[in-house]
Amino acid sequence: MFPGVFTSPSLHFLSGSCWRSYGGAPKYLHDYKAFGRITILGEFLAIAAVVMCLLFIIADLGQPMRAFNVILYPTPGSVLFWDMIVLNGYLLLNIVIGWNVLEAERNNIHYASWVKPLIITSIIWAPAIHTVTAFLYCGLPGRGFWMTAILAPRFLASAFAAGPALLILLCLIIRKLTKFDPGKRADPVAGQDSYLCHNHKCIFLSL
């Protein structure tokens, strides 16, 4: 079966995880209260997105044991090995950060001080998951389209355009179906981020 059938959805779900790091910067780095709830929502959206991405990679490999072989028999020369490393690392960071920040928000207290270094690490880690995944596309049959000097910026722009859009749609659904309000002040910021990154993506595609 054509490998892009599995690789493309994995990138789609991966895009949903990106805005958590940079959209959450006002909350985590500047303690901006308006981004509190939507940032926590973004944390768990990122967890779900990375899990789905890993499942698509397992489907691409053919069976779960082959995914364990990537870890048991590390090959630093393989892009897939680094993809597994950055995805699992990002997943672990989001689980630890999301759980602690959610507990702190529920108890109306500030999260523990030891979480701050993990948050900064996750913000730095976020571009790595998209950059490594971008280079996976160079192995597809249509690699002529992907072999470009601006491959990483093109994927980052695409991810930061899709991530906020998915988060806004999720907020609208949650407001409609539940009593939980993620906060409306963060929506325009997410929309602006998505709009600007989409413009950058179109510019990169035209180069």
Instruction: Render pLDDT for 45-66 as a digit per residue (tens, 0 to 9).
Output: 888 888 887 887 787 777 888 8
Residue 192 structure tokens:
């602006």
Distance of CA 43 to the CA centre of its chain: 9
Checking if the pLDDT of 4 tops 60, the result is no
Residue 74 structure tokens:
């590390």
The count of other CB atoms within 10 Å of the CB of residue 120 is 14
Q: Is 9 helix (H, G, I), strand (E, B) or coil?
A: helix
Q: pLDDT (tens digit, 9 = 90+) per residue, 10-37?
A: 565 566 566 666 666 666 666 666 677 7
pLDDT computed for residue 142 by the predictor: 62
Percent of the chain topping pLDDT 90: 0
How far apart, in whole angstroms, are the C-alpha atoms of residue 189 and residue 171? 13
What is the extent of the structural domain holding 76? 4-206
Q: Is 154 helix (H, G, I), strand (E, B) or coil?
A: helix
Q: Residue 79's domain is classified under what CATH number?
A: 1.20.1630
Q: What secondary structure letter does DSSP report for 140?
A: S
Residue 193 structure tokens:
């981020």
Contact 160, 19 (CB under 8 A): yes
| More confident of the two residues 38 and 103 | 103
Checking if the pLDDT of 77 tops 60, the result is yes
**Count: domains in the chain:** 1
Contact 190, 164 (CB under 8 A): yes
pLDDT computed for residue 22 by the predictor: 61
Residue 7 structure tokens:
């690789």
Which residues does 2 contact at the CB level (< 8 Å), separation at least 6?
Answer: 141
Nearest 10 degrees: CA dihedral of 84, 41, 96, 110? 150
Q: Residue holding tokens 């991810």? A: 159
pLDDT computed for residue 18 by the predictor: 64
Q: Residue holding tokens 């959805």? A: 9
